[in-house]
Structure 1
Amino acid sequence: MIRYPPREANGHPHGAVRASQHTASPHDSPLDPRGAIRQTGRMQRPYLLTVNAGSSSLRCGLFTASDAAAAALRQDDPNTPTGELPEPIFGLHVELPSTRRAARLHVTAGEAKYSGSTSRGVVDQETALAEIFAWLAERGFRSGIGAVGHRIVHGGTHAAPALITPALLRTLESLAPLAPLHQPNDLAAVHAVHRQLPGAGQVACFDTAFHRSLPPRAHRLAVPVDIADLPLRRFGFHGLSYEAIAGEMLRIAPAERRIIAAHLGNGASLCAIDTGQSVDTTMGVTPLDGLPMGTRSGALDPGLVLWLQREGGHSPERLAELLWRKSGLLALSGTSADMRILLDTDTGAAREAVEVFCYRVAQGMAAMAIALGGVDAIAFSGGMGERAHPVRAGIAEHLGVLGVKLDPIANATNRPVFSRPGSAVKLRIVPTDEEAIIARHTARTLGLVPDQA
């Protein structure tokens, strides 16, 4: 049972932070945070909410704005180069309904955890967000939220988080065809927050920004540069996750400079990280590229796509449905996009789907090793990376060429380090924390960090 912080006389919980009254003004807008933030950088409303709208779930974190600002300050401290991440008051995760389950709400508060059913009206990210706001309102938190940070999957050429303005929204909407499973949900969440919290400042934190450090040899495309209005390059994705992993690795193992980070979930990718900087990654212009995923094809011969269009009579819309929603593990197995189900299914097709996935991940890791000029550690994250030990074992089976030696017992028990002594490459499980990264970026973007920092 979660013990909620005591309520104060003014109705706001969390005794260490007090909310002052906010009077609506003509400037109040999700696109202009002046109604929620004073020019000195002090919040009139003490809470910061992060929103991470995935393709099958919604994750939120409720932070004190002061904790998020302190984390942004620590990031600048030369004695703590990675910066400590802020701790949320609550972590909130809504699993959307599927053919296998009804929608569920999961709440964490420190070590305490709670799971329960949602209302029957939860059918998509917007209704899931409404459920979270109702949950927060019942406990006295909603009215104290003055800042909201969003994970935005495709940021185009943006290299840093940005205050959400009408112009930025138009740009992000134009990128939706490049990330159709995610971008519409991300932007719907921005509008939903506007309706729920019209005075809150909103910040876009881009999954693509972490990969702006890619060298030309990694981001250039071998096509004419003038074929599109958007400057085409390999953008890369899962950047907020990789930023969290890079920071955690610098904290726990600073000598392990050359890292292959593996974000393995329903969406999956790899990133080569050298001293905290992205130098290569498996996803490209869109999050459809790279590894095969739950329902996404991953890398394909472009000639096949042209052939399917010309000879197979597939329209662009039909091809998009095929490659984004009906490929990957679902197509390989013929039954499921869920690795948990495939690992429990004793059929040749299910086994082959798992084998193809593990082999392609290992192939990608070999390519990332070339980008790094050698590997000190492989960091596994995401649902599969953190909890599916047969998948990690299947990947490691192909990595003997890199000097990888798996400890089967440590791997089967999900220990933080699961390589054997003498392994040339350290194998680690490094849980990611996108919400904390979003909170830190939001505090900095909205000026909650003093100018002299």
Structure 2
Amino acid sequence: MTDAILVVNAGSSSLKFALYPETSNPTAALLRGKIAGIGSRCVFSARDGEGRALSPSEGMSVDAGAALDDLIPTLLEWLKNHRGGVNILAAGHRVVHGGRHHTGPARVTEALLDELTTLEPLAPLHQVHNVKAIRAVAAALPGLPQVACFDTSFHRTQDRLAQLFALPRALTDAGIIRYGFHGLSYDYIASTLPHHLGARADGRVIVAHLGNGASMCAMQARRSVATSMGFTALDGLMMGQRCGTIDPGVLLHLLDCLGMTTQEVGHLLYETSGLLGVSGISNDMAILQSSPAVEAREAIELFCYRAAGELAMLAAAIKGLDTIVFTAGIGEHSALVRRLICQQLEWMGVALDTDANERDAVRISSAASSVDVLVIPTDEEIVMAGATHRLTTGVHAPFPSHGASHP
């Protein structure tokens, strides 16, 4: 039987999981899997530590309409018997919102769960499912140590000014501030930068986490100085289905003049805007890039226009720019998006190596570029696995750097 740390990322329609060896410095997963289509048409898929897909006979059997509460115990039972059996020592969970006081991951207690539940309105697409998964694991494996890993924690290093809205102080004191998200991804990128940049890793870096959810983080000394997302994950960049920054007056107009309800406005902002709304076709960048439709091209160009503008604004927070890092689904795989964004930043000294960009190479800036431009795959799960081991065993070790050595 294999001792392992379980990592869980639960969403409204999918459940991602991974197993890692019992160590504070994990370097690779033993198993990664996903259950998609929760509540409608559940589909299970998984790959072993070598990246090989499990055969259908090895896969987990799931009911088509199973809910998250049902899938968690089924998954745990399947893991217990998978390839000689897995002994789960602890579980780490991605929790999108940790509020203003959590500066790192935390051991799960009933008091913590109650606190996280109060934050559900600030991350309605994620938080309720994150908490539900924790409770489901606790019900199936009573007494199992669990750790909540927050997407907001990485940004608590920001100065007060970077976190403030220009609102009355009473509202600020009540917690209406800029929190920032995608912190687990930024944590991983910060850990691996020395391998790619050497001493320059502590310079002025902007990381573009571009996926269906998208944000940017300006770092110095590999700590968050400013970020594009704010009070909720709606702010900042244009995303797959979210519009990003919008004039608040538009929302008042929708409510007061067009008679929309708050629920309808919420659905508009979270579900039907962004790439999907502008194109009228899809929120999937790959589909839009293959489409001949004028609307698809306009959606892509607006996505890149907004991203370049946000990046230039974040550069002001760190007084210049030494490195850009692209990561996440779009950032790692769309040469077109990277090219369109960087073309708008040529005035900042950004110059791409066209061939390297098309190959999705790690370094895609040309020799003439005064700004390093890198493509680094993110790994939020490995950050969670290491944190879970450290908080449940008391063994503290420096987080490892991953990736290729710096030039």
Q: Compute the TM-score of the two structures, normalised by the length of structure 1.
A: 0.81
Q: Deviations over 1:179-228 (max 9, x none)?
A: 01110111111112112222311111110000001112211110012137
**2: CA distance, partners of 1:168 / 1:375:** 38
Residue 319 of structure 1 deviates from its aligned partner by 1.1
Of 78, 84, 103 in structure 1, the residue corresponding to residue 43 of structure 2 is 103
Q: Deviations over 1:103-132 (max 9, x none)?
A: 341314134444768634365554554554
Matched, 1:372 2:315: no
**2: CA distance, partners of 1:246 / 1:87:** 18
Partner of 1:444: 390
**1: CA distance, partners of 2:169 / 2:83:** 53
Residue 367 of structure 1 deviates from its aligned partner by 1.1
Q: Is the 8 A contact 1:150 1:438 kept in 2?
A: yes
Matches within 5 A, 1:203-352: 203-227=147-171, 230-256=174-200, 257-352=203-298
Residue 102 of structure 1 deviates from its aligned partner by 6.7
Partner of 2:129: 185
Q: Evaluate the alpha carbon distance shift between residue 128 and residue 421 of structure 1 in structure 2; reply closer, same or farther with a 3 A threshold.
A: farther
What is the DSSP-based 3-state SS (H/G/I as helix, E as strand, rest coil) of the residue aligned with 1:185? helix
Of 6, 17, 39 in structure 2, the residue corresponding to residue 60 of structure 1 is 17
Q: Evaluate the alpha carbon distance shift between residue 403 and residue 248 of structure 1 in structure 2; reply closer, same or farther with a 3 A threshold.
A: same
User: Which amino acid letter does the alignment assign opposite residue 110 of structure 1?
Assistant: E
What is the DSSP-based 3-state SS (H/G/I as helix, E as strand, rest coil) of the residue aligned with 2:199? coil
Matched, 1:398 2:350: no
Q: Evaluate the alpha carbon distance shift between residue 127 and residue 432 of structure 1 in structure 2; reply closer, same or farther with a 3 A threshold.
A: farther
Show structure 1 runs of 5+ residues with no match: 1-11, 14-45, 72-84
**Number of residues paired by the alignment?**
391
User: Which amino acid letter does the alignment assign opposite residue 340 of structure 1?
Assistant: A
User: Which amino acid letter does the alignment assign opposite residue 87 of structure 2?
Assistant: G
**2: CA distance, partners of 1:226 / 1:142:** 54
Partner of 2:92: 149
Q: Is the 8 A contact 2:80 2:87 kept in 1?
A: no
**2: CA distance, partners of 1:317 / 1:188:** 22
Partner of 2:64: 121
Structure with larger Rg: 1
Partner of 2:366: 420
Q: Evaluate the alpha carbon distance shift between residue 346 and residue 97 of structure 1 in structure 2; reply closer, same or farther with a 3 A threshold.
A: farther
**2: CA distance, partners of 1:115 / 1:357:** 38
Q: Deviations over 1:53-94 (max 9, x none)?
A: 2455332221222x22xx2xxxxxxxxxxxxx4322212233
What is the DSSP-based 3-state SS (H/G/I as helix, E as strand, rest coil) of the residue aligned with 2:230? coil
CA RMSD of aligned residues (A): 2.3
Q: Deviations over 1:359-402 (max 9, x none)?
A: 11111111121112121111111111111111111211211111
Q: Compute the TM-score of the two structures, normalised by the length of structure 2.
A: 0.90
Q: Evaluate the alpha carbon distance shift between residue 250 and residue 141 of structure 1 in structure 2; reply closer, same or farther with a 3 A threshold.
A: farther
